[in-house]
Amino acid sequence: MDVVRKIVSEMAAFNLATIGKFKNLKMRKPAIILFFLAMILTVQGQTTNPVEWQFSAKKIADKTFEIHLTAEVATPWHIYSQHTPEGGPVPTQISFIKNPMITMDGDVKETGNLVKKHEDVFDVDVHYYDGKVEFIQVVQLKTNVKTNVSGSVKYMVCNDRECLPPVQKTFTVTLGGK
């Protein structure tokens, strides 16, 4: 990978105008291929996901647990609330796979530094989190048995210049047991 990075950095000043200066067609083809390879690798390197997720369970009472979906969002990115208005960016969506051993208690709560801001691009007041946000769902076991809670979180992140396409991440958290 270091060799690829070296090629990409050396190709940074290299552009299509430079390729056009090659009179020899044998040199032009490899130069064009290298140029587009460098562009692809550069774009791929820039689209890494700026969100790291952790999934856990915390026992809060006998047979009652909090499921914590914790997002650490790298600066300058932000992640959208579940309650972002229609017409705006993609809100965070959390879904759970039905498990006959548990019941959901209420809706998923959000905790973090909530920012409400009017975005001219969407012409709505968006709700988002910078840094760290926790999505918390309380669940109850029907009996004292070891089981799993599984699901997915779909989210989108933006900064002041761009938005990345929505990402869906699956999770499984173990509950109960001795």
What pTM was computed for the model?
0.73
Alpha-carbon distance of 41 to 48, in angstroms, equals: 12
> For residue 151, is pLDDT > 50?
yes
The three-state secondary structure class of 46 is helix
Alpha helices, H only, 47-169: none
Alpha-carbon distance of 80 to 165, in angstroms, equals: 13
**49, 92, 157 from 165: Cα distances, Å:** 10, 12, 8
For the chain, give every domain's residue range. Answer: 2-46, 51-175
19 with 26: CB under 8 angstroms?
Answer: no
- CA nearest neighbour of 166 among 158, 155, 150: 155
133 with 71: CB under 8 angstroms?
Answer: yes
Alpha helices, H only, the chain: 2-11, 16-20, 25-46
79 with 129: CB under 8 angstroms?
Answer: yes
Class assignment of domain 51-175?
mainly beta
Using pLDDT thresholds of 50, 70 and 90, give the confidence band for residue 154. very high
> For residue 80, is pLDDT > 50?
yes
- CA nearest neighbour of 117 among 70, 84, 165: 84
Q: By 3-state DSSP, what share of the chain in percent is helix, strand and coil, each rounded to 5?
A: 20, 50, 30
175 with 143: CB under 8 angstroms?
Answer: no
Q: What is the mean pLDDT of the chain?
A: 83
Using pLDDT thresholds of 50, 70 and 90, give the confidence band for residue 5. very low
Using pLDDT thresholds of 50, 70 and 90, give the confidence band for residue 37. very low
Using pLDDT thresholds of 50, 70 and 90, give the confidence band for residue 122. confident
